[in-house]
Structure 1
Amino acid sequence: MPLLSLQEVTRSVELPDFSRLEILKGIDLDVEIGDHLSIVGRSGSGKSTLLNLLGLIDNPTTGSITFDGEPLEKLSGSKRDRKRGRDVGFIFQQFNLLAGRTALENVMTPLLYASGKQFWRRRTLASEMLERVGLGDRMASMPDKLSGGEQQRVAIARALVRSPRLILADEPTGALDVDTGKTVMALLDDVAEQSGAALITITHDPNVAALARRHYRLDNGVLHPIDVRRMLATSLPEAAL
């Protein structure tokens, strides 16, 4: 059984003239436990809308989404929020770290909403995760004292500290130089694989997308499987995506 399954999912919005804008059209996607897939697409292709659906934030207009076999439309708002907080980790391009909070305090933040052992062991769990991403000596540092790559590592640690089953990385290397971006993606893939989490990378960069095992393109609201590695090997321009 897939961890996450989208079946004939659409998403549309009503415009001021009462016409409807179709953003996503008939999306079918199964994500298995431990999977790593990438979704590429130009600006305006619907990537952010799809991210919100994958992250259990929004409902589809039509179609169905199931998480661990449970249909999302049957979940109350509070139960969905708890499931998202427990099972989904988000990593964003701009890091979104809390200013005025140390690296350790930033990573501890999701655990403030946990219960039981996770809550009471929040400092230990956050420290262990920072050690895991190579920042054991930077726990007391403020975000503005960290490099871009270090800030992204803190963001990764924060996303993973509750051991989510699904990790959504939205343009995770967009604010980094090429070499740092490769290092961060290798780290993210390694940590996700060790924890058994499914990883979905949403990006416009085919080089980042190629690091996944399965590749998709979102074009005008339609999701297609593609082979990014083959495109790169034949030197097709990024515009081909």
Structure 2
Amino acid sequence: MARDVTRTVDVIDGDPLTILAGIDLEVDEGDRISIVGRSGSGKSTLLNVLGLLDAPSSGELHFLGENAMRLRGAARDRLRGREVGFVFQQFNLLSGRTALENVATPLYYASGRSFWQRERIAREMLERVGLGERAAQLPSRLSGGEQQRVAIARALVRRPRLILADEPTGALDLATGQTVMELIEDVAAETGAALLTITHDPAIAALASTHLRLENGRLLTDASAAESSDSEDLQETAA
């Protein structure tokens, strides 16, 4: 839960730049939230704050009942690694590691069974995204859609409670993008995770049950996405 969260950055020879100006957002288990907004509106900044990558300049940030603002760096990192999964538009795969090694990377920070059986768990997740036979391939030998599926497997391998997807279909064609979103949704549904997606695609935004727009540093209800979603529901009912 974010309450009155702000994020400002210093500007040389100028006033501080306000990116987030009092964000209030509550995310519960199983929620499906989409956030749209113009380029440069601060969507990725908001995602980084919610995912505990960046600290807000002020406000309160609670995660699974813990006040994240009071956690020391190492404790915050452990919480993020255990409970948050990031899906990025640019994949961010490690070029010198195979698909299997990329997916297993988060499990090196796990403990117990997850650590000692990391290769088997990673392989199972690769098979879940349809890439079991590509496990030994380097990212350079994979298509864009395959790389994105590896990135998704890596984000979900620890079964996070919160999935943050930043333009997850932006670098993909329409058909592959739809497949990717179905995959993210399926895995999120299996684990009961909350899914928060940032997107420029109205069709992707309409898949969520809560539609928000980031404008002037604040979150507003996005009526256009809600109307699109209602329209799709009516078409399905009529069919």
Q: Deviations over 1:127-186 (max 9, x none)?
A: 111111111221122212222111111111000111111111111011100111011001
TM-score, normalised with respect to structure 1: 0.91
Residue 55 of structure 2, aligned match among 50, 54, 59: 59
Q: 2:10, 2:171 → 1: CA distance? A: 33
Q: What residue number does 1:230 align with?
A: 227
Q: 2:152, 2:174 → 1: CA distance? A: 18
Q: Structure 1: which 5+ residue stretches go unaligned?
A: 235-241
Q: 2:226, 2:38 → 1: CA distance? A: 18
TM-score, normalised with respect to structure 2: 0.92
What is the SS of the residue equivalent to 1:45?
coil
Match status 1:134 vs 2:105? no
Q: Deviations over 1:102-143 (max 9, x none)?
A: 111111111111111111000110011111111122112221
What is the total number of aligned residue pairs between the two structures?
230
Q: 1:163, 1:233 → 2: CA distance? A: 31
Q: Deviations over 1:74-122 (max 9, x none)?
A: 1111100111111111111111111132111111111111111111000
Q: Structure 2: which 5+ residue stretches go unaligned?
A: 232-239
For residues 12-51 of structure 1, the aligned pairs below 5 Å read 12-17=8-13, 19-51=15-47
Q: 2:90, 2:9 → 1: CA distance? A: 27
Q: 1:65, 1:187 → 2: CA distance? A: 29
Match status 1:182 vs 2:182? no
What is the SS of the residue equivalent to 2:170?
coil
Q: What residue number does 2:236 align with?
A: none
Q: What residue number does 1:238 align with?
A: none
Q: What residue number does 2:119 align with?
A: 123
TM-aligned CA deviation for residue 60 of structure 1: 1.6
Greater Cα shift, 187-196 or 135-144: 135-144
CA RMSD of aligned residues (A): 1.4
TM-aligned CA deviation for residue 232 of structure 1: 7.3
Match status 1:153 vs 2:145? no
Residue 78 of structure 1, aligned match among 71, 74, 83: 74
What is the SS of the residue equivalent to 1:137?
helix
The letter of the residue matching 1:31 is: V
Match status 1:203 vs 2:203? no
- Runs of 4+ residues over 4 Å off in structure 1: 231-234
Q: 1:112, 1:167 → 2: CA distance? A: 19
Q: What residue number does 1:103 align with?
A: 99
Q: 2:46, 2:67 → 1: CA distance? A: 17
The letter of the residue matching 1:117 is: R
Q: What residue number does 1:93 align with?
A: 89
Q: What residue number does 2:235 align with?
A: none
What is the SS of the residue equivalent to 1:151?
helix
